[in-house]
Amino acid sequence: MMTGKEDLLSALIEAYLMEKGTRMFYSDAAAKAVKPGAKKMFAELSDWEESHMNYIQYLYQAIEDDRNIQGFRDFTERTDAPLTESGIPVKEMEAELEEYTFADDDGAMKLALEMEGKAYNLYRKLSEKAPDSNARVVFREMMEQELKHIEYLKKMRA
């Protein structure tokens, strides 16, 4: 779990792994959703999390001047992503998913809004605590991305 005291590279790795955990959860939720609207929403959120992962990977490799994309992919395949970006362990969210049937899109929407709200708050706290100004910028950018997800979900709800 990130504390906000990470240097930039550590923060990028931690953020990447949380995005990966969240993508895995949303992908699983899309596969298990009953209603087409919930399925579509979770699939889109999973795609967005993957784009966040690509953004973080790009930043990491640019900073490290590392052109070895396959090496980074190998790292991500070997590395577990135990937490979602909301700070909730993936296994805990998956257990909740097992108990919860998405009988309607509102239930799926509520779960997604809760996750995105927690992710926003986590990145906000990290951006306030980070001693590294570059890490603060990354956390703020991730916070803005979470805000876009929340706005998307609110529009879908309406």
> What's the rounded Cα separation, in Å, for the pair 30 and 40?
7
pLDDT at 38: 83
Instruction: Kindly state whether residue 81 falls inside one of the protein's structural domains.
Output: yes
pLDDT at 114: 86
In a domain, 72, yes or no: yes
CA dihedral 42, 121, 63, 16 (to 10 degrees): -40
The answer to whether position 129 is within a domain reads yes
Residue 101 vs residues 33, 48, 120, 142, 143: alpha-carbon distances, Å: 7, 23, 25, 30, 29
What's the CATH number where 95 sits? 1.20.1260.10
Tell me: pLDDT of 141 over 80: yes
Note the pLDDT tens digit of each residue in 36-55: 888 888 899 999 999 988 88
In a domain, 116, yes or no: yes
How far from the centroid of its chain's Cα atoms is residue 115's Cα? 9
Is 82 a member of any domain? yes
Specify the number of domains making up the chain: 1
What is the tens place of the pLDDT at every residue in 64-74? 776 666 666 77
High-pLDDT (> 70) share of the chain, %: 77
Q: Report if residue 3 sits inside a domain.
A: no
The per-residue pLDDT for 25 is: 84
pTM of the model: 0.75
* 34 CB neighbour count, 10 Å cutoff: 13
Residue 47, pLDDT score: 96
Query: Residue 12 pLDDT > 90, yes or no?
Result: no
pLDDT above 90: percentage of residues in the chain: 10
Residue 150 lies in a domain: yes
The whole-number pLDDT of residue 132 equals 79
Residue scoring higher pLDDT (81 or 27): 27
Whether residue 33 is predicted with pLDDT greater than 60 in this model: the reply is: yes
**Is residue 70 in a domain?**
yes
Residue 73, domain extent:
8-157
Other C-beta atoms lying within 10 Å of the C-beta of residue 106: 13
**What three-state secondary structure class fits 96?**
helix
Q: Across all residues in the chain, what is the average pLDDT?
A: 79
